[in-house]
């Protein structure tokens, strides 16, 4: 019964993390700003950290059930 919400949460975290990492990578390759008004030296590592953190949470949710 509890596996349904865990699978849903894992899917959301994994999709968000993957999309964020792909989007950040595409912006960096095209030398476009990752976040408007923020220096790239700050925005890129924070976006990468958020993306990998989301992926880690997704994997953690999958391991919980």
Q: What does the mean pLDDT of the chain come to?
A: 94
Q: What is the mean pLDDT of residues 14-18?
A: 98
pLDDT-above-70 percentage for the chain? 98
Residue pair 62/25 in contact by the 8 Å Cβ criterion: no
Q: What is the pLDDT of residues 19-46, one digit of tens each?
A: 999 999 999 999 999 999 999 999 999 9
- Whether this prediction's pTM lies above 0.85 is answered by yes
Q: How confident is the model at residue 1 (pLDDT cuts 50, 70, 90)?
A: low
Concatenate the DSSP letters of all residues of the chain into one string.
--HHHHHHHHHHHHHHHHHHHHHHHHHHHTT--SSTTS-HHHHHHHHHHHHHHHHHHHHHHHHH-
Q: What is the mean pLDDT of residues 6-13?
A: 94
């Amino acid at each position: 019964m509890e596996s349904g919400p865990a699978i849903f949460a894992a899917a959301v975290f994994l999709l968000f993390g993957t999309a964020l990492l792909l989007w950040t990578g595409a912006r960096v390759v095209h030398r476009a700003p990752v976040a408007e008004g923020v220096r790239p030296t700050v925005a890129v590592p924070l976006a990468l950290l958020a993306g990998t953190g989301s992926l880690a949470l997704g994997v953690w949710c999958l391991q919980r059930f």
